[in-house]
Structure 1
Amino acid sequence: MRKKKMRKKKKKKKKKKKKKKKKKKNKNKKKKKKKKKKNNNNNNNNKNKKKNNKKKKKKKKKKKNKNKNKNKKVEEENKKEEEREKGRRRRSRRRRRRRRRRRRRRRRRSLELKR
């Protein structure tokens, strides 16, 4: 039998992560000048605008309690199930009683016949 030559698995080389270079801050950079706001001489008009904006705010709608209806439905279903179970219990009791009576009668008859 010939021997199979096993191939050697090549090891994967791990890649080195490159370090990010930090940017040097430019000390000679000029600062930006802030723009001055325009002086609004028409002050009264400005106040009125603010008042109007306040009026425009919408009132929040009250959320309807959707869960109330769900809870009602669940309660009704539970009641129905309880009623069904009560009915089942009654039926099962009746059946048990009937079975017991039948068994007793059969036993009595069989005993009497044996005598």
Structure 2
Amino acid sequence: MKNIIALAAALCLGFSASAFAQTTAPATRSASAPAAPMTSTAPSAAAEAKADAKAMKKQADGDYKAAKAKCKPLKGKEETACKKDAKAAHEKALADVKRAEADAKAAKKAKS
């Protein structure tokens, strides 16, 4: 039972850390520094969003693989519950990826 609680806590911490890393505010410029001009070599917002979604999927798959590996030493009902939790967390992460892809598509369509 303690292993399941520890695993659940680790998963929650992992997801909150990755969410925090994705939502940090950009650094502010000083008042004396001029704004950087936009160049055509910068990737478009749609391309960045697509890359972000791809990275999110890769992260979700890696997290799922790690969570399943943590279930291996468990036996019986604990192992079953651990695998079920891992799969549920993976499915939620994949739903987040789909939502991010849909948001990127909507942003691209709105820009057009």
TM-score (norm 2): 0.32
TM-score (norm 1): 0.32
Query: Which is bigger in relative contact order (C-alpha 8 A, separation at least 6)?
Result: 2
Indicate the structure with greater helix content: 2
- Of the two, which has the highest radius of gyration? 1
